[in-house]
């Protein structure tokens, strides 16, 4: 949770995001070096709400692609099958085979784990690719897959038509209760 909070305040769009939120509240935006003070406040204040989120550790099995990372270090994910609720999840790749996802939901008081099917890893990599501010980073063995990346819509159309393509190894979907 500390890493997630740190990634949130260090990303390149932080100043724009905080100024957008302040404008929504009718407050003046942050200017100059004040952005660094606000980063520290956001880091300190961000841990409390994150502790009540639902957290899941994701594993990319050997037969699946490796996770990629963008220069933001995290991505917001639409919750497939729950888009009508307008919910999004926070996705953070931690290394090439382990990532975490968090969303507003009843906290389990810890982390549960889910081994993903290859299509889930491809979709998560596509999200990472399509929202990257400048670049993505991946394992050298994934260079061909990265150069052939498509948009989220193209990937969803191609792979969600197959029954169970987004179920985990246990038959559960990414945001289902375990």
Name beta bridge partners: 92: 100
What's the whole-number average pLDDT of the chain?
Answer: 76
Q: Centre a 10 Å sphere on the Cβ of residue 146 and count the other Cβ atoms it contains.
A: 17
Per-residue pLDDT of 87-110, as tens digits, reads 678 889 998 999 999 887 776 667
pLDDT-derived band at 165 (thresholds 50, 70, 90) equals very low
Could you give the strand order of the β-sheet that contains 54-59, starting from the edge strand earlier in sequence? 75-78, 88-93, 98-103, 54-59, 111-115
Mean pLDDT to the nearest integer, 132-151: 70
Q: What is the pTM of this model?
A: 0.69
Task: Give the CA radius of gyration of the chain.
Answer: 17
Mean pLDDT to the nearest integer, 144-171: 54
pLDDT-derived band at 149 (thresholds 50, 70, 90) equals low
Question: Among 17-21, 64-68, 76-80, 140-144, where is mean pLDDT lowest?
Answer: 76-80
Confidence check: pLDDT of 160 > 50: no
Dist. CA 29–CA 135, nearest whole Å: 28
């Amino acid at each position: 949770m500390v890493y997630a909070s740190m990634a949130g305040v260090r990303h390149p769009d932080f100043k724009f995001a905080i100024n957008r939120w302040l404008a929504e509240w009718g407050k003046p935006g942050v200017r100059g070096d004040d952005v660094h003070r606000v980063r520290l406040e956001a880091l300190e204040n961000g841990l409390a709400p994150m502790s009540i989120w639902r957290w899941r550790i994701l594993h990319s099995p050997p037969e699946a692609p490796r996770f990629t990372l963008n220069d933001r270090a995290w991505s917001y994910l639409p919750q497939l099958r729950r888009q009508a609720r307008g919910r999004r999840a926070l996705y953070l790749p931690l290394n090439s085979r382990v990532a975490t996802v968090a969303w507003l939901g009843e906290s389990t008081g810890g982390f549960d784990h889910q081994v993903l099917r290859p299509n889930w890893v491809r979709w998560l990599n596509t999200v990472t690719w399509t929202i990257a501010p400048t670049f993505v980073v991946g394992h050298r063995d994934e260079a061909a897959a990265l150069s052939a990346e498509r948009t989220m819509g193209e990937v969803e159309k191609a792979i969600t038509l197959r029954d169970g393509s987004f179920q985990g190894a246990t038959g559960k979907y990414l945001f289902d209760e375990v």
